[in-house]
Structure formats: structure tokens, C-alpha cells
Chains A and B, each alone.
Chain A
């Protein structure tokens, strides 16, 4: 039924609709500073949108191409360290440095992908955990980049080019909106292109994909490069935002999971899943740990863990499926 109503170019219509909704959401986010004045909430929103961008970056590899990476903290950390080192040691502003970080992040994603993409399923997932852990351990012991004690980014002066803002959080908000917007639009472009179709075919059935002339390995590598690059840029922004980085805060295995989770809970391989997932997960995590105590009781972890289990079981296709608008028409009978 849906097919006959929407006519023959339903895909184009859906994509146009998504773009329009995307612009509306973008405009809505940009207006947020007019409404939200309190710094704590602004902070929370900034983190949420940053994670929406990161989760979208993960989604490009994990969601569209189906390669469940549990080591994305590596690319995040590399992006953060590259941009921070360039800034602290050489004085290169982070507005440039974050792209350098993204580039190196993408290169590392290729470097990791080259051996690991020969592994399938759980073997791949575990290999990425291990690669992430190796990166964490090496950075922890690398004195040149500050080792376990990390690097402090000194505040010099308010500067747009150097991404140093103290007077107000609002510039950060616009920066992360631009970042998440970039990730979103890249995902949107991929979804409609030949790549998007090939990647989803690789995710669903490698053998069938190959029989249709889809080049599996290059598909995975391309997805990894874009995903790693965007994750690296996110890491660079995060480093500048918090002003201090160490391997524990930006390269741990938990962070890898936190990058993947919003996409998984929101809706894997969808445009809106990462945003919806972050909008729920990040505030909940931050609020529960600040109200229930992050170091003490463990209650926040229990809530967080139970929520993951419940959503994954109740909505395996993600929270996004609750919003009928973006659901692909089902059961055309």
C-alpha cells in the first residue's frame, strides 16, 4: 500500500523529507542558547551534541557497514592528542589541528582495518577491543605526550581560531552543532550514494554482496577511514573543550562503548539514531552520576546498565523506531 501511495520515487521523497527535518533540527539547535542560559545545562547539551556527532561517526562504520568496532576510543584519542600536541608544542591552532587529528585518526582506522577486516563477526569486535587497549597502554607509557599524567592545555586568551572560550559556553555549542551537522550530512550523502548501498549490503550478507560485484574489503576500508576521521575530529574538539587530556579520560575501553552506544540504542544504521540515542543516554548518564554520585554508590551504573539492557531488548531496531515518521513503510500488504 505504502508503495503505491508514495509512487515510484519514494526513496527520493524520503531523502528530501529527511533533509528538511535535518535543517529544522539544525535551526532548532542553533536557537538553543536563546532559551538555555544556565551553564550546567549548556554544558550538558554540548556534550550530548558532541556524542551525537561521535555516535554518527561510529554509525558510518558500525551501523551502515555493520563492522561493530569496540575500539573507537583509539581514533578519538589520537585526534585529541594530535591536535593538542600541535597546539601546545608548535602553536598550531586547533581549528587546523582538529583536521590534522581527523586525518591521523582516519589513517589509523585504515591501519587497524587492514588486518582486522579479514576477521568476521565476534573475532572482529574483540580484535578492535584489543587494538584499543594496546593504544591505551602505549599512550599511558609514552612520556613525550605526557604519559599517565596527561597534558594540560593552558588558557591563553579568548580566541576563535585557537578555540579558547571562557566568557561563555555558547561558541562551544555552535562548534559541536557544526561537528554533529557535518557527521549527519556525510551520513546522509552516503546513504543515498552507491557506497551506502554497498556498505549496507556488506552488513547484511557478505556473500550475496560479493555476488553482486560489491567489493567488500574496499567498502569496509572506506567506511573505516571516514568513521575514524570524523571520530578524530571529535576527539580534538573534546580535548580543547575540557582543556586537559590523559589516556584514562579519552582512550579507555569504556569510552569506546560510549561512542557506540547512542547509535545502537537510538537505531543502528539510521540517520537519526545517533542523535536520539545521545539525547537520551548522555543526559541520563551525566545527571545520574551527578545526582547519585559518580564515585560512591554505583546506583548510577545500575540504572545505566539496566537501561541499556532494556532498550536493546525492547527496541532492537532502536528508539528511532518509536517515531513512525522515519520508519520505512512496513508490511505493504
Chain B
């Protein structure tokens, strides 16, 4: 089986603290991969490396065998990596449609084509009723959808979702889960970071567990949660917090 994305011995330190050390795993075409682990496990840092926002100190990340690590977010986006952010980053001086058009312009110079693309993506994301609303007036779950729509408009091969379901009500979260399933059904591979285990586990095909910047284990979600190291990491984390 060919790997769409290969994370190969990636390490990154910030101010002497190792956010990621020697992380390796592969992502298969068409799967939903869950990246789980307690706070400070290095999930967001890894996302930043994959999306090109930061350059790993060592190791390599390849998309379809082509190195993407260290080449910057613009190249990564062009090659097919799109992402959402843990804290929503909408373009607040623009309408919903204009927000998504920014993403669509990654693939075209024509405003007409960008608009058509944006409209169809918004329809897909269930925001077609909010097209002309200024982005800053959206509700939090709507903003999350906007970010997904904007990312999809760049026609990605891999979509990175950073805590997209966190902070949503159960109903909103269920709607979000449906959107994620729809995205995968459209042929986009998904890597997601999430805290809400109950929602995450049934959704993902495979899980990679990070702890203290290292890969603890990887496998099927059902196996992973029964893994003794994982239980210890989570319980330990909980004891420490209490």
C-alpha cells in the first residue's frame, strides 16, 4: 500500500523544550487518522510542521514521496495540504463567500471561477444560506465550518483539522462529524487532532497516540485505547492535573 503522507523521524524543539522528538508514522490515502494525546503532547506542533508553518529541526515529511517539510506553508498548500486552526482564524473584514474565495484563488486566477468554486464548497459545508454574511457575525460552529470550506476550496489532498469539534454542543458536534465524513467521502484524506474521545473514536480509521512529544503507539482506535501505555499516560495526566 502506498503512503500518501510520510512523517519520517521529525523532531522539533522550542526554546529547549522538545515539542516533537523522532516522530514517524504514515498516512494512507482516503483514511481519517486521529492524532491523540494529552495536552502538551506535541499535536499542534506536528500540525504546524506538516502544514509548513514551522520547519522541523530534523527529519522529513513527504507527500507522495516529495519532501514538503521546511518548504513553507504556501508550497504545502499548493501541493495539497490544507488545515484549520485550533483558535478559529476567519478573515473578519470579508463576507463568508469572500473568505472561501481566498482559498479558491489557490487554484485559479479568475474571480469568476473562484466564486463558483467557493459557492459549491459552501454548499457542501452547509453554509449556503450565509454566503453574504460578514465572517465576524458567524456563530462559533459556523466559523468552524467556514474554516473547513475555506480549506476545501484549495482542493487539498490532505485536510488537517485542529480541534474542530472542541467546544461544540453534542448536536453541533454530530453535525461536524457528518461534515467530516462527507469530506472524506469526497476523496480527501483527513488527519485530525481532537480531545473529545467519545466523538473521535467512532469517526477515525486509525489513531496515532502522542505523549510528551513522542509516538506512544499507533493502531486501530479500539486497540489503542486499551493499550496500557495509553491508559497510563492519560490517567497519569489526570492524576497530575488533580
Report A-B touching, CB under 8 Å: yes
Whether the pair B74, A3 counts as a contact (CB closer than 8 A) is: no
Does A168 reach chain B (CB closer than 8 Å)?
no
0 or 1 for each of A253-293: is its CB under 8 Å from B? (1 = yes) = 00000000000000001000000000000000000000000
Would A330 and B93 be within 8 Å (CB), given that A10-B132, A194-B114 are in contact? no
Does B154 reach chain A (CB closer than 8 Å)?
yes
Does B91 reach chain A (CB closer than 8 Å)?
yes
User: CB < 8 Å: which of B101, B119, B129, B131 contacts A197?
Assistant: B101
Whether the pair B106, A213 counts as a contact (CB closer than 8 A) is: yes
Contacts of A203 in B (CB 8 A): 93
Chain A's interface size range is 20 to 34
- Tally of A-B residue pairs with Cβ under 8 A? 110
Chain B's interface size range is 35 or more
Q: How far is the CB of B86 from chain A (nearest CB, A)?
A: 11
Contacts of B78 in A (CB 8 A): 213
Does B39 reach chain A (CB closer than 8 Å)?
no
Contacts of B73 in A (CB 8 A): 210-211, 213
Whether the pair A331, B114 counts as a contact (CB closer than 8 A) is: no
Whether the pair B102, A332 counts as a contact (CB closer than 8 A) is: no
Does A208 reach chain B (CB closer than 8 Å)?
yes
Whether the pair A198, B74 counts as a contact (CB closer than 8 A) is: no
Contacts of B85 in A (CB 8 A): 207-208, 211
Contacts of A6 in B (CB 8 A): 132
Contacts of A198 in B (CB 8 A): 102, 105
Whether the pair A9, B115 counts as a contact (CB closer than 8 A) is: yes
Please measure, in the bound complex, the distance between the C-alpha atom of A58 and the C-alpha atom of B24, giving whole angstroms.
49
Contacts of B95 in A (CB 8 A): 328
0 or 1 for each of B149-162: is its CB under 8 Å from A? (1 = yes) = 01101100000000
Residues of B at the A interface (CB closer than 8 Å) are: 51, 53, 72-74, 77-78, 82-83, 85, 89-95, 97-98, 101-103, 105-106, 109, 111, 114-115, 119, 129-134, 137, 150-151, 153-154
0 or 1 for each of A299-333: is its CB under 8 Å from B? (1 = yes) = 00000000000000000000000000000111110
Whether the pair A209, B102 counts as a contact (CB closer than 8 A) is: yes
Contacts of B105 in A (CB 8 A): 194, 197-198, 212-214
Does A193 reach chain B (CB closer than 8 Å)?
yes
In chain A, what residue has the closest Cβ to B108? A194
Please measure, in the bound complex, the distance between the C-alpha atom of A211 and the C-alpha atom of B85, giving whole angstroms.
10
The 4 A-B residue pairs with the shortest CB-CB distance in the complex, in nearest-first order: A213-B77, A208-B89, A213-B106, A204-B91
Contacts of B83 in A (CB 8 A): 211
Whether the pair B102, A214 counts as a contact (CB closer than 8 A) is: yes
